[in-house]
Amino acid sequence: MEFDPKHNLSSVGKAPRVAAIHTVAFYDSKSGSIRHLHHRIALEGAQPTDATSLERRALEQAQRKGANLKGTKTLHLENAAFLQGPFRVDVKSLQLVPLDPVKYRPESHSGSTKKISKKKGR
């Protein structure tokens, strides 16, 4: 999937540009259901972070939030942070694939979402 890392990000003044967005996904090894996502935004001029360090930090955050990681594997993705809609991991190709279309509506600026159900006949 192609993604422009500058999409949906803006800054004021002389802030460095976004160079990349690294994502670590913990997903169910059988179903591909994503249990936890961790994003790291790298700005131009930042020191690179190796995959092991990214994964260790992602694991710490997932455990702190109480994510159930039993039976999961990890997938490292580049520039996937702002893809729209719910996804799962195709366990054979190790690619993100969209779930059946479901519409979500932002409830606040905190990033929480509310599921909107479709009414029949529309």
Domain limits, the chain: 18-116
Per-10-residue mean pLDDT, the chain, length 122:
50 80 94 93 89 95 94 91 82 89 44 39 41
What gap in Å lies between CA 122 and CA 110, rounded to an integer? 31
Q: Report, in angstroms and rounded to the nearest whole number, the Rg of the chain calculated over CA atoms.
A: 16
End-to-end CA distance of the chain: 31
- Contact predicate 74/68, CB 8 Å: no
pLDDT digits (tens, 9 = 90+) for 47-68: 888 999 999 999 999 999 999 9
* Per-residue pLDDT at 102: 52
* Per-residue pLDDT at 8: 56
What gap in Å lies between CA 83 and CA 97, rounded to an integer? 11
* Per-residue pLDDT at 64: 95
* Per-residue pLDDT at 115: 36
